[in-house]
Amino acid sequence: MEYGHVQRPKYDCLLFDLDDTLYPLSTGLASSVRKNIEDYMVEKLGIEQSKIAELGNLLYKNYGTTMAGLRAIGYDFDYDEYHSFIHGRLPYENLRPDPVLRSLLLSLPIRKVIFTNADKVHALKALNRLGLEDCFEGILCFETLNPIHKSTPSDDEDDIEFLGSATSSNTAAATNGTEIFDIIGHFAQPKPGSVLPKTPIVCKPSEIAIERALKIANINPHRTLFFEDSVRNIQAGKRVGLDTVLVGNSQRVVGADYALESIHNIREALPQLWEVDRVAEVNYSGVAVETSVTA
């Protein structure tokens, strides 16, 4: 007896960034985050206001996030306190339930995972405001890749767990008298042999961060579609083997396989995601996933 060949879907996982991807930039959360980071640098770290704009720009550009850059150049602080300061005063009321996106996500017969540089508290709050809290299998977030506070960069993969369930108290002293690396001076007047210090924080767009996140969640990059609003994160994802979708811009850039003006355009742009003869079998083998993502 011959069995009909069932076409295997091209993707078995959809990986979504959260901020400015699942909701538009126009909500104003991103500009509030930027202002809160600047306030933290002045109020908590004692950095001169006149240096904030240039310093913040250099840290973000060279380290992926301002937070990662601050740790690299010698500032030490409690991660939870930092995140609560940055996200605690955001205009979450600007995020409204999105029944259209919810319906689209729930109709997709493919595994769906969030991958954000933000902390778990913010991710859950934003997803709840959007009405999408039960649309994803799990969340890869700051605590996933940075479960314990580190003074130095580490390649120890045993420190990492999906959803950051082994998070430590993140206690950290002040800068412990550590000399702060002058990154502004480094770029203004480069000294021979001078190199940028490494950061102990693991985050996008680091390829190591993306590869670790995929490994933790048992995701095959070659069978995964990655949705992001950040061009550099898209390009890093492409380098590790992901197919990529730039969200928030209809113009494709180098590294993006697709481009969507809005996440709501997903069905028009990618109808093949729904074109499966049967519900794709979601492979959860070996993934320690807590469906409630509240632990």
DSSP string over 186-220: HHHSPPTT--PPPPS---TT-HHHHHHHHHHTT--
Residue 179 lies in a domain: no
* pLDDT of 192: 87
138 and 213 in a single domain? The answer is yes
Cα distance between residue 271 and residue 116, in whole Å: 25
84 and 5 in a single domain? The answer is no
* pLDDT of 174: 42
DSSP lists the bridge partners of residue 111 as 13
* pLDDT of 156: 54
> Which of 66, 90, 114 marks a domain boundary?
90
Tokens of 269: 């742009």
Residue 231, by phi and psi: left (phi above 0), alpha (psi -120 to 50) or beta?
A: alpha
75 and 208 in a single domain? The answer is no
Backbone φ and ψ for 112, nearest 5 degrees, come out as -130, 130
DSSP lists the bridge partners of residue 227 as 16, 245
* pLDDT of 6: 58
58 and 119 in a single domain? The answer is no
Cα distance between residue 22 and residue 19, in whole Å: 6
* pLDDT of 291: 37
Residue 224 lies in a domain: yes
15 and 119 in a single domain? The answer is yes
Residue 162 lies in a domain: no
Distance of CA 223 to the CA centre of its chain: 19
76 and 207 in a single domain? The answer is no
Which CATH number covers residue 84? Answer: 1.10.150.450
273 and 232 in a single domain? The answer is yes
* pLDDT of 292: 35
Tokens of 205: 């767009």
Backbone φ and ψ for 88, nearest 5 degrees, come out as -65, -25
> Which of 67, 90, 113 marks a domain boundary?
90
What residue has token string 């997903």? 266
48 and 8 in a single domain? The answer is no
Q: Give the full edge-to-edge strand order of the sheet including 258-260.
A: 138-140, 111-115, 13-16, 224-228, 243-247, 258-260
Residue 291 lies in a domain: no
Residue 185 lies in a domain: no
pTM of structure: 0.85
* pLDDT of 134: 97
Cβ-based burial of 103 (10 A; exposed 0-12, middle 13-18, buried ≥19)? exposed
Residue 285 lies in a domain: no
60 and 108 in a single domain? The answer is no
Residue 181 lies in a domain: no
Smallest CA-to-CA distance from 239 within 203, 210, 219, 260 is with 210
Residue 173 lies in a domain: no
Which CATH number covers residue 8? Answer: 3.40.50.1000
Tokens of 128: 């709840």
38 and 140 in a single domain? The answer is no
Q: Look at the chain and report how many structural domains it folds into.
A: 2
* pLDDT of 72: 97
> Which of 75, 90, 105 marks a domain boundary?
90
My answer on whether omega of the bond before 109 falls inside 30° of 0, hence cis, is no
Residues 35 and 134 sit within 8 Å (Cβ to Cβ): no
Q: Could you tell me the residue range of the domain that residue 243 belongs to? A: 1-24+96-147+199-277
Tokens of 206: 């680091």
Give pLDDT tens digits along the chain (295 positions): 445 555 678 999 999 999 999 999 999 999 999 999 999 999 999 999 999 999 999 999 999 999 999 999 999 999 999 999 999 999 999 999 999 999 999 999 999 999 999 999 999 999 999 999 999 999 999 999 999 888 777 655 444 434 433 333 333 334 455 799 999 999 999 888 889 999 999 999 999 999 999 999 999 999 999 999 999 999 999 999 999 999 999 999 999 999 999 999 999 999 999 986 444 444 433 334 433 333 3
142 and 207 in a single domain? The answer is yes
